[in-house]
């Protein structure tokens, strides 16, 4: 992300679109979407997604279909009013991931025909191991919990987060870092979760959504670089572009 790394810490990247329920959803639509995607995503499996609106009437989940690449490292999820494109580790590059997102988006628009967005988010989940316990977090993270002198410091479990507004609060970046140690004197397994969200979808047209996606990715890249120290990033083995 930002710089090119030979060993990036990304364990999952995903771009998720939620649409207003202004298009008719039919049970044949997943099959039609599969015909559009099967050349690159030949596997398929039933899935369930959290339905925010359905929660209010006692049906918190709705059915969806996931189409997977042959190696099952990349997937496109299609459901009523939702499209999600994801990639597990090893993450390729943005230049490779972005066409997958566009492929899924184009197929969804062709088959379902949504007219407007409810929300969009671009999320990167990173995992890494760091040593030296809680006292040594400053060697790895520029974002970390602060513990005053009056609190016990014998801990290796932590969580901290911030929310950063962008584009006059049209967007928000949620940054969370959390970690825990699994054994005495062992490493802390830390997760850096970066989630860039469109809060005011009425300000973005469907036709220009990928301008937003590119901006979102650039802001996530900058935040990733800013959250981690140079010594930690050196372990990711920076490559020449």
Provide the pLDDT for residue 27: 84
Q: Which range (68-72, 151-155, 197-201) has the least confidence?
A: 151-155
- How do residues 47-92 score in pLDDT, each as one tens digit? 888 765 544 444 566 789 999 999 999 999 999 999 999 999 999 9
Q: Where do the structural domains in the chain lie, given as residue ranges? A: 1-15+120-241, 21-115
pLDDT at 9: 97
The token pair that represents 112 in the structure block: 């379902």
d(CA 77, CA 37): 11
Task: Tell me the C-alpha distance between 83 and 47, whole Å.
Answer: 12
Token pair for 89:
């580790």
Of the candidates 128, 142, 167, the residue with the CA atom closest to the CA atom of residue 223: 142
Q: What is the pTM of this model?
A: 0.92
Better pLDDT: 3 or 68? 68
- Cα–Cα distances (Å) from 145 to 78, 141, 153, in that order, read 38, 10, 11
């Amino acid at each position: 992300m930002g710089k090119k790394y030979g060993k990036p810490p990304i364990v999952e990247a995903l771009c998720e679109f939620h649409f207003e329920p202004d298009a008719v959803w039919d049970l044949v639509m997943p099959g039609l979407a599969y015909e559009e995607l099967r050349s690159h995503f030949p596997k398929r499996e039933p899935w369930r997604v959290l339905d925010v609106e359905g929660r209010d009437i006692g049906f918190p989940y709705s059915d969806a279909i996931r189409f997977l690449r042959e190696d099952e490292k990349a997937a496109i999820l299609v459901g009523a009013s939702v499209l999600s494109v994801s990639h597990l580790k090893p993450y390729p590059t943005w230049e490779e991931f972005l066409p997958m997102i566009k492929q899924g988006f184009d197929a969804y628009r062709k088959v379902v025909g949504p007219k407007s967005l409810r929300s969009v988010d671009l999320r990167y989940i990173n995992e890494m191991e760091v040593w030296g316990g809680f006292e040594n977090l400053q060697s790895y993270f520029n974002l970390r919990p602060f513990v005053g002198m009056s609190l016990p410091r014998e801990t290796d479990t932590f969580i901290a987060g911030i929310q950063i507004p962008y584009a006059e609060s049209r967007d928000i970046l949620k940054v969370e870092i959390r970690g825990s140690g699994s054994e005495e004197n062992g490493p802390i397994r830390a997760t850096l979760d970066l989630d860039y969200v469109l809060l005011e979808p009425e300000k973005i047209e469907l036709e220009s959504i990928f301008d937003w996606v590119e901006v979102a990715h650039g802001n996530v890249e900058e935040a990733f670089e800013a959250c981690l120290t140079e010594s930690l990033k050196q372990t990711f083995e920076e490559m020449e572009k």
